[in-house]
Amino acid sequence: MSAAPPRPLKAARPPRSGVNGVHARPGRFPLTSLSDRRWPRVAAAFVLGAVLMLWIVRIWLMITQSGLFTAVGYDFGLYLAQVAALQSGDPTNIYRLDVLNAYQQALAAYAPPGTFVPPALVPYPPLFAWLLQPLTLVPPPVAFLIWTGLNLAAMVALVWRIRPLVPDWIRPWLLGLVVVFPGVIPSLVLGQPMLLLALATAEFYVSLRAGRELRAGLWLACLFFKPQYGLLVGLLLVWKARWSAVTGALLGGLVVLIGSAVVAGVPAVLAYPHSLVDTASFRADITNPLDMVNWRSLVVLAQTLIPSIGDRLALGLILVPSAVSVGVLGLIWRGPWNVRERLWPARMAALWMATLIVSYHSHLHGLTLLVLPLTAALATPGLSSRTRWILAAGMVVPGVLEPVLLFVPTLRHVPSWLLALSMAAGLASILVETRETWQPRRLRAVLRGT
């Protein structure tokens, strides 16, 4: 009886490479399994398409029921009113609510008869209104379309910057994923400039990573139009002695300051801080804190549930978690500055998450600043699955829920609260990732049993 022929050796399966060619199971890009399985891809495409369709239906209903510049284009209407006030002959009018109200009510012509458009100050420096003057040469709806086109162009450029950070199989999906990223569509709907600023902060990130710190600072200076988003990153650059970047930011800031004085005069520049103070009303103001993605929103929620919490106690409840968040960020960034260090992208994501939850005035559209840093963090080789799923699910779940809950008025704030909590969880998880850089040596020795 002859022996059975030996079974041929099974060819070894080549290891799948992760992002940037690094293969590590705890470090895979989230949803990597979708790259080689059909049904998960179909399900993901269905969810993405459903979210986009819900947004289209919601925006269409908002336009047909309320017209323009009351919900859709509301913030852009404020900008047009500020431009008109700048051209009124007295540039200080750009920060006078009664003057702005008169111009803004003229935009009610694009809403149903009898509509009152709530007035509000625009907390931007005068140079912003001056830059928007060409848009007054066309009718307001056309101006809004042009402005939206500029922001869409910025979004496409942002996608191009993100593209090298993601695996090949995600790239065909990338534009759709960015569109449904929390904050992107609200920014477009309101007419916010956040996609333009998100592109500027993306260029800031790319320039820092390339070692071009002066250029990075110049890009960062764009945040002088929304200074609440630049506070923590400015303090970080000073702490880490990145003086070239600080110089670039200061030079850009001087351009904004001097340019504002040239186009509107010194009195208008001196009146500008008043517009920032006006946004600080704690509860019942046009800024609607319940819509925010910060500690303030969660504390106002607690006040709503527990009316006995007074405003003074509420302010303390905001300051405590804000101070803790800044302290956590300091621990995350402890150690030498090294843009090539493995966890540097995750640290940058933590910086912007802390900025958003700590800022006293931080709405949903501010999340556009996170698009590139969060993608870069998810693409970090070797980052734990825990951190990856906290970061990814923390954005995906509220992003999917948002267009659904907009049809349920009593629940429409839920995605904002979830986003604030998920960013806090992301900060904590990134802190654990970087623990080797902040644990005291003695505690580290105890933990190692030596």
- The vertex-222 CA angle with 258 and 238, nearest 5°, equals 90
Residuewise pLDDT in 10s, the chain (450 residues): 445 555 544 444 444 433 333 333 445 666 555 555 667 678 888 888 999 999 999 999 999 998 999 989 999 999 999 999 999 889 999 999 889 999 989 998 998 888 888 888 888 999 999 999 999 999 999 999 999 999 999 999 999 999 999 888 888 889 999 999 999 999 999 999 999 999 999 999 999 999 999 999 999 999 999 999 999 999 999 999 999 999 999 999 999 999 999 999 999 999 998 887 766 665 556 678 888 999 999 998 998 889 888 878 888 889 999 999 999 999 999 999 999 999 999 999 999 999 999 998 899 999 999 999 999 999 888 889 999 999 999 999 999 999 998 888 889 899 999 999 999 999 999 999 988 666 555 445 544 544
Residue 369 class from Cβ within 10 Å (0-12 exposed, 13-18 middle, 19+ buried)? buried
Beta bridge partners of 363: 292
Residue type, 93: N
Residues 6+ apart with CB under 8 A from 14: none
Residue showing tokens 């710190």? 213
Instruction: Report DSSP letters for 137-165, one per residue.
Output: GS-HHHHHHHHHHHHHHHHHHHHHHHGGG
C-alpha–C-alpha distance, residues 363 and 248, integer Å: 27
Helices (H), 265-310: 266-278, 295-305
Instruction: Report DSSP letters for 331-349, one per residue.
Output: HHT-S---TTSTTHHHHHH
Supply the pTM of this predicted model.
Answer: 0.87
For residue range 337-365, list pLDDT tens digits in order. Answer: 999 999 999 999 999 999 999 998 899 99
